[in-house]
A and B are shown apart, each in its own frame.
Chain A
Amino acid sequence: MKLTLRVWRQKNADADGAMSTYEVDNVSPDMSFLEMLDTLNEELILKGEDPVAFDHDCREGICGACSLVINGDAHGPERTTTCQLHMRSFKDGDTIDIEPWRASAFPVIKDLVVDRSAFDRIIQAGGYITAPTGSAPEAHATPVPKPDADYAFEHAECIGCGACVAACPNGAAMLFTSAKVNHLNVLPQGAPERETRVLDMVAQMDEEGFGGCTLTGECATACPKGIPLTSITNMNREWLRATRKAGKR
């Protein structure tokens, strides 16, 4: 396949960026999207040009590092991560627009790489449990009802990629934050911090300058892990409950 790529190039955080056009030839439909970009970068290096910077790590859809907006869709046209997207989703002769995640809480560092440390700080605000460390606990010590375990697991699937923020017209981090809150709040292990977790994580989310939720649902459509929009509803319920309890104390 022969493709035309229009890629966002930006030298550093302070520089102005712009779209640059590149031609890539001999693209196999079996290549992953990132391998296709590797091909482009090899050519750029041979020509003595600066290769395109983009984030990636596991390349198997589990780490959450890859992050590209492809033709206006976070992670591209399939419901998966960019690293798991294959070139068979495109046609010979296509023009593909590649842009970084856009949100003021995710500033561009270089080209397609953005700073997602805001997510780390949201996690630090409450995405943990207090538990004695040491040897693994006895598995039957804390029984978890099956529906709760399933619910926790569904939300634990969030890999923190930030596609939800990139897709949201308000640059909101509600889907990410709600996945993390719900994952721990439903489990007995997460119960001691049930109220402080949701209050602190939402406060940190606001502090980072993410937008608010207008329930457009773009986040859940973009999420490669299928975190549902109802996750946000459930976090709202947890937040209101925690606020009421805090008010009584």
Chain B
Amino acid sequence: MARTVWDSTVGKKAVMAVSGAIMLLYLVAHVIGNLKIFFGAGEFNHYAHWLRTVGEPFMHYEWTLWLVRVVLVVAVVAHAVSAYQLSRRDIKARPSKYVHKKPRASYATRTMRWGGIILGLFIVWHILDLTTGTVHSGGFQEGRPYENVVDTFSTWYGNVIYIVAMLALGLHIRHGFWSAAQTLGAGSRTRDRALKAVANVLALLLTAGFIAVPVGVMTGVVS
């Protein structure tokens, strides 16, 4: 069955939809966590420490966190690989363009592809910046995410990269959420408007929620 799914365009699209939904769920939790930065270093750093102790005493220190990380890596890789393979196939299926060009065609598809590439690069930078500290500006302090976040958003490029990526995320979710519903067969004529409304609200809340943090640092609300 796994082969049938992976070898079919319909099945591979379903893999994209499910992995996208997993990432989306994670992002909802992530944005709620991020907003705690507005309640001070104590609360934010305590929350970050708690993330490592979730599930204790059943789980050992950081086990739950690593479990989530593994699921996310699998989701990102499955999503990106299927996006790449499907896009290659789509381009091959329509090799010659029409001489008479229509501007409207494929706007959503193109933004999904470019947006996806931006998000992929962002995810790598984001981990190297705030998880491992490899490319962090100012000394990276293990266990003090509040201070690290303030460092990142005290640089102009940190703000630019982050805000551009979050705008791309909003567009990606706006088309992606609705798309995933169609891919998984959950859309219908009567449900269409509701699905589009939920997609818009989710996209807006996540983008606004994530961008609030750099804006908070830039305006000095968080320092």
Across the interface, do B109 and A170 meet the contact criterion of CB distance under 8 Å?
yes
A 183-220 binary contact with B (CB < 8 Å = 1; else 0): 00000000000000001001101100111111110100
Q: Is B158 on the interface with A (CB-CB < 8 A)?
A: no
Of the stretches B37-45, B118-126, B176-184, B198-206, the one at the interface is B176-184
Q: Is A111 on the interface with B (CB-CB < 8 A)?
A: no
Q: Which of A103, A168, A199, A215 is the one whose CB lies under 8 Å from B182?
A: A215
Query: What residues of B have a CB within 8 angstroms of the CB of A159 in the complex?
Result: none
Across the interface, do A240 and B86 meet the contact criterion of CB distance under 8 Å?
no
Query: What residues of A have a CB within 8 angstroms of the CB of B187 in the complex?
Result: 230, 233
Please report the C-alpha to C-alpha distance between residue A58 and residue B101 in the assembled complex, in whole angstroms.
30
Across the interface, do B108 and A69 meet the contact criterion of CB distance under 8 Å?
no
B 88-105 binary contact with A (CB < 8 Å = 1; else 0): 011111111111111001
> If A104-B95, A239-B10, A246-B1 touch, does A214 touch B102 (CB 8 Å cutoff)?
no
Residue of A nearest to B5 (CB): A243
A207 to chain B, nearest CB (A): 10
Across the interface, do A69 and B94 meet the contact criterion of CB distance under 8 Å?
no
Query: What residues of B have a CB within 8 angstroms of the CB of A170 in the complex?
Result: 89-91, 93-94, 109
Q: Is A91 on the interface with B (CB-CB < 8 A)?
A: no
Q: Is B136 on the interface with A (CB-CB < 8 A)?
A: no
Q: Which of A73, A234, A238, A243 is the one whose CB lies under 8 Å from B11?
A: A243
Residue of B nearest to A177 (CB): B10
Query: What residues of A have a CB within 8 angstroms of the CB of B178 in the complex?
Result: 215
Across the interface, do B9 and A102 meet the contact criterion of CB distance under 8 Å?
no
Interface size on A, residues (CB 8 A): 50
> If A206-B9, A236-B185 touch, does A172 touch B93 (CB 8 Å cutoff)?
yes
Q: Which of A72, A99, A169, A236 is the one whose CB lies under 8 Å from B90?
A: A169
> If A236-B10, A236-B183 touch, does A169 touch B105 (CB 8 Å cutoff)?
yes
Q: Is A13 on the interface with B (CB-CB < 8 A)?
A: no
Across the interface, do A243 and B101 meet the contact criterion of CB distance under 8 Å?
no
Please report the C-alpha to C-alpha distance between residue A209 and residue B14 in the assembled complex, in whole angstroms.
19
- Report the interface size class on chain B: 35 or more
Q: Which of A6, A202, A244 is the one whose CB lies under 8 Å from B10?
A: A202
Query: What residues of A have a CB within 8 angstroms of the CB of B219 in the complex?
Result: none
Q: Is A54 on the interface with B (CB-CB < 8 A)?
A: no
Please report the C-alpha to C-alpha distance between residue A218 and residue B103 in the assembled complex, in whole angstroms.
12
Residue of B nearest to A228 (CB): B189
Please report the C-alpha to C-alpha distance between residue A239 and residue B11 in the assembled complex, in whole angstroms.
8
List A residues 145-174 near B (Cβ within 8 Å): 167-172
Query: What residues of B have a CB within 8 angstroms of the CB of A211 in the complex?
Result: 9, 89-94
> If A19-B99, A212-B9, A216-B109 touch, does A230 touch B90 (CB 8 Å cutoff)?
no
Query: What residues of A have a CB within 8 angstroms of the CB of B108 in the complex?
Result: 214-216
B 1-44 binary contact with A (CB < 8 Å = 1; else 0): 10011011111111000000000000000000000000000000
Query: What residues of A have a CB within 8 angstroms of the CB of B189 in the complex?
Result: 228, 230
Please report the C-alpha to C-alpha distance between residue A40 and residue B35 in the assembled complex, in whole angstroms.
69
Please report the C-alpha to C-alpha distance between residue A91 and residue B61 in the assembled complex, in whole angstroms.
75
Residue of A nearest to B109 (CB): A214
A194 to chain B, nearest CB (A): 14
Please report the C-alpha to C-alpha distance between residue A234 and residue B105 in the assembled complex, in whole angstroms.
23
Q: Is B165 on the interface with A (CB-CB < 8 A)?
A: no
B 163-188 binary contact with A (CB < 8 Å = 1; else 0): 00000000000010011011111111
Q: Is A143 on the interface with B (CB-CB < 8 A)?
A: no
Query: What residues of A have a CB within 8 angstroms of the CB of B181 in the complex?
Result: 233
A215 to chain B, nearest CB (A): 5
Across the interface, do B184 and A8 meet the contact criterion of CB distance under 8 Å?
no
Please report the C-alpha to C-alpha distance between residue A15 and residue B210 in the assembled complex, in whole angstroms.
55
Query: What residues of A have a CB within 8 angstroms of the CB of B98 in the complex?
Result: 69, 72, 99, 102
Interface of B with A (CB < 8 Å)? 1, 4-5, 7-14, 86, 89-102, 105-109, 112, 175, 178-179, 181-189, 192
A to B CB contacts below 8 Å, 17 in the list: A72-B100, A169-B90, A169-B106, A170-B93, A170-B94, A172-B9, A172-B93, A203-B8, A211-B90, A211-B93, A211-B94, A213-B9, A214-B108, A214-B109, A230-B187, A233-B186, A239-B185
A99-B100, A247-B1 given; name 17 further pairs at CB < 8 Å: A170-B93, A171-B90, A171-B93, A172-B90, A202-B9, A203-B8, A211-B92, A211-B93, A212-B12, A212-B89, A213-B10, A213-B183, A232-B182, A233-B186, A236-B184, A239-B185, A241-B185
